[in-house]
Structure 1
């Protein structure tokens, strides 16, 4: 699957989980398309490529879809553990975000260089000093980290994380982190999320709307 299809498929999975939580047992392509912001034709094409087929008039069974898409995405009954590195405003907001659990994501811990945050009881998860990264990562078998550290610290933290065994990184810092292949042959997966750039794209599209 290409990155766009992975994103859509993950979104289908999240939507289906929410529909199941509402007590629904079946869904039609156009319902899923509306919720995902795509066309019904795109949903059907994606499902065809994934070898998922529904009934012509009966739609798709939600439990069956969840099982099949879950296997494709590598989902298990165990939560997917992540850590947050940098416990400033964005880091704290992510630690307190309750939506992760519904998607099978569990924030295990936070890390920061400021000793003041270590004993802050308002955090929902423990916060450790940076020098305990490797210890906690190995203890909880963590593969993914979210970097919310300042610009000057992000590159160094990236190196510390990959050396400790983190091979998936979501980067919220102001700089762009570039993935480079490690000595063991692994190429870390790095997604850079620059909020300012995302907003600039929105402003541009509002100013210069694309003609349909």
Structure 2
């Protein structure tokens, strides 16, 4: 869930970074990437239907309707050669967006590369690779004090990350439409107060995990 919030917020920020770049970026997001997704979807559905018996049955109609005609497939492939498709998908991926926003020297995205670590860890969990499966296994093997401390600290961190995404979207959105950002100060103060109400869970975890300092 937090990974989706991060990625959605980042794409919103990239789209609304500047009115000067909005049209081009919106075209890429709304149209170009959609066409590429249609082509990829066609390939996957064709593979599925190809291995199913009686794939002309009515029950498979929703899948067959997702198949492109030969003309449509040829047109999309011609308009978006493989190298272009790969470049667009890389550009609009999390790492690509983080890199471009960080290099833009836009003060709103100063230090943005620091978000990459948390997103990468969430990706490990989502994809259940060796790192993603090792993390919960390690926690389950800890004694109760260590396990409870890290679970609480991690829970607060997830809530904090969602609030960071909210503040990012608000900041970019208000700036894009030229709105007075004064209300954002109140939002920031409310979020800070909520975070403070959770107590020093991170410090408590550090004390349990690293008692020697």
TM-score when normalising by structure 2 = 0.27
- Structure with bigger strand share is 1
Greater relative contact order (Cα < 8 A, sep 6+)? 2
Q: Which has the higher helix share?
A: 2
Structure with higher Rg: it is 2
